[in-house]
Amino acid sequence: MTCFGMMDQRSFRSLLLAVGIVGFLPSTLLAQQTADFADPQIKAALQEISAGQIQSDIEKLVSFQTRSTISAQDADSIKAGHGIGAAREWIKNEFERYSRDCGGCLEVKTDTFTQPASERVPAPTELTNVYAVLKGTNAEDAKRIVLVTGHYDSRNSGPLDGKGVAPGANDDGSGTAVSLECARVLSKLHFPGTIIFLTVAGEEQGLYGSKHFAELAKAQGWQIEAVLNNDIVGGDQSPGQDAKVVRVFSESIPDNASEQQLRAIRALGGENDSPSRGLARYITQTARIYGAEVAPLVEFRRDRYLRGGDHISFNEAGFAAVRFTEFQENYNHQHQNLRTENGIEYGDLPKFVNFDYVANVARLNAATLASLASAPEPPQNVRLETKGLTNDSTLIWDAPADGRASGYEVLWRATAAPDWEHSQSVSKALKATIPVSKDNVIFAVQAVDEAGHRSLPIVPVPER
C-alpha cells in the first residue's frame, strides 16, 4: 500500500491524475480528429515566437526597478526609466512599433482611470491598462473578440512599498511578455475575428486594472468569446519544475449564473461545462493540433488556494476566462524583497526564468488566439431533444450568423470524463442523431469552416 506521506509532489499528482481527482492532461482519444488539420499560416507564425525576444522583454521590464502600481509615474521618473509609468510608456511604444511594422494594423489604446484609496492603495491613484487591437477582417466576425492578458505591475514583500526594488520577472513580466510576443507575431497576419493584446496594472493591489477593463467591455457590449490570462508562466528553474506542463485554471459554476441557470446546472449535471471549462478544453484541442511543446494541465478550479488573478475579473463580468500558470511555483521567488538568508536567495529575478518555457507558453496562447480568431462563429441555439424516452440522442441547432460554417462536429464524452472523447462530423445539416444515450454523456456542437478551423464547442440545453 502506498503511503501518501512518503510520496513527493509529482508522484502524488500522478496518482491523483490516474484516478481523476485533479486536472487532466490532453487526451489522445480525439487524435484522429485533430491530426488532419493544422493551419499552415498559424504553424509558420508559431515558429516566429522567439525566446530571445521574450528574454529581452522581461529584462527590460525588470530594468524599471519597480513596477508597483503605487510607484512613480511622473514625467521625470518616466524619463529616468524608473517606476510603473516608465514601464507603461515602454509597453505602449512596443505596441506602436509592432503596428508600424505591419502598416498600422494595430489600434494601440490606453484605458486610464483613477483608483480610489483602498487597503493596498493609500491614496487615489491613476492606473492605466495598455492594449493593442488587431481588428478582424470580416464585418460580422470582427465583432467577436479573443483576448490575451498579463499584468505589468509588480511587488516585493510589502504591497505598500512603491519605492523598493520589485523586479517581477516571473510575476508577471512573463505574462506581459506573452501578450507582447503574441502581438508582435500575430499582427503580421489577418484573421476574420478580432484579437486584443492586453497588459493591465493594479493586479497586485486587488485586480483593479482587469476589473475596470472587464466592466468597460461589459458596459460597451463587447462580444468577448475567450480571455487567456498568463500570470507566472516563467517556468521557475527550481527542483520539481516540469517544463513540459503549464496549468490552465478554469471556473466551474459561472460566477454570474442566475438562479434558474443554477437549477438547470444541478438538474443536468452541468457543473463541469461552464464556458470557461469549454475554453480550457479548446486549449487542449489546440495543443494536440499544433503539437505544443508544453502540455496544458487543465485544473478544475478557478485558481490556486489563497490566490487570485485577472481572469477572475472577466469571469465576474460574465466572460469565459482561464489562467495559465507554471507547473510548480517557487514562493521564495514571488512577492519577496531581494535578499539572501540562510543560503536561500529570495526575489523574482530574470535568472530564475526559463525563457524557452515562456516561449512555448506563448506559442500555445498564440495558437489558441489564432484558431479562435480564424474559426467561424459557434452554432446558435443548440438544443438536445428530450421529448420522449429513447436511447438515441438528437441535437438541433441554428447556423451561425457569419455564414462561414461549412459543417459541424458533434462532440461527446462520458459524464465522468474530463475531456471530449468522441466526435462525429456533420455536413451543413442543422440536426444530428447520435446512437448514444443522452443519459450517459455530455454533448457539444462546434462549427467548422472550409479550411477546418473549429469554433468553441457549445453544450446544448434540453428541449421538450
Question: DSSP for 76-123?
Answer: HHHHHT-SHHHHHHHHHHHHHHHHHHTTS-EEEEEEEEEEPPBTTBSS
Specify the pairing of strand 422-426 against strand 407-414. antiparallel
Instruction: Identify the three-state secondary structure at position 279.
Output: helix
Laid out side by side, the sheet with 223-230 consists of 106-115, 125-134, 194-200, 144-151, 223-230, 321-326, 245-250, 295-299
Decide if 318 contacts 254 (C-beta within 8 A): yes
Measured CA distances, 108 to 95, 196, 238, 454 (Å): 6, 10, 37, 29
d(CA 213, CA 128): 10
Residue 174: alpha-carbon gap to chain centroid: 14
Phi, psi of 40 (to 5 degrees): -60, -35
Instruction: Identify the three-state secondary structure at position 434.
Output: strand
Phi, psi of 118 (to 5 degrees): -150, -170
Phi, psi of 325 (to 5 degrees): -150, 145
Residue 427: alpha-carbon gap to chain centroid: 31
How is 10-61 classified by DSSP, letter by letter?
Answer: HHHHHHHHHHTSS-BPPPSTTHHHHTT---HHHHHHHHT--HHHHHHHHHHH
Cell of 3: 503511503
Q: Cis peptide before 57, with omega less than 30 degrees from 0?
A: no
Identify the segments of the chain with pLDDT beneath 50.
1-22, 24-29, 31-32
User: According to the model, what pLDDT value does residue 34 have?
Assistant: 54
Q: Scan for cell 449535471, then name that residue.
A: 269
pLDDT in tens, 52-70: 999 999 999 999 999 999 9
pLDDT in tens, 174-194: 999 999 999 999 999 999 999
Q: Scan for cell 467577436, then name that residue.
A: 144
User: According to the model, what pLDDT value does residue 256 have?
Assistant: 85
The β-bridge partners of 407 are 448
Phi, psi of 218 (to 5 degrees): -65, -45
Specify the pairing of strand 194-200 against strand 144-151. parallel
d(CA 452, CA 454): 6
Closest CA to 330 of 230, 232, 203: 232
Q: What is the pTM of this model?
A: 0.93
d(CA 58, CA 80): 18
Closest CA to 118 of 207, 49, 58: 207
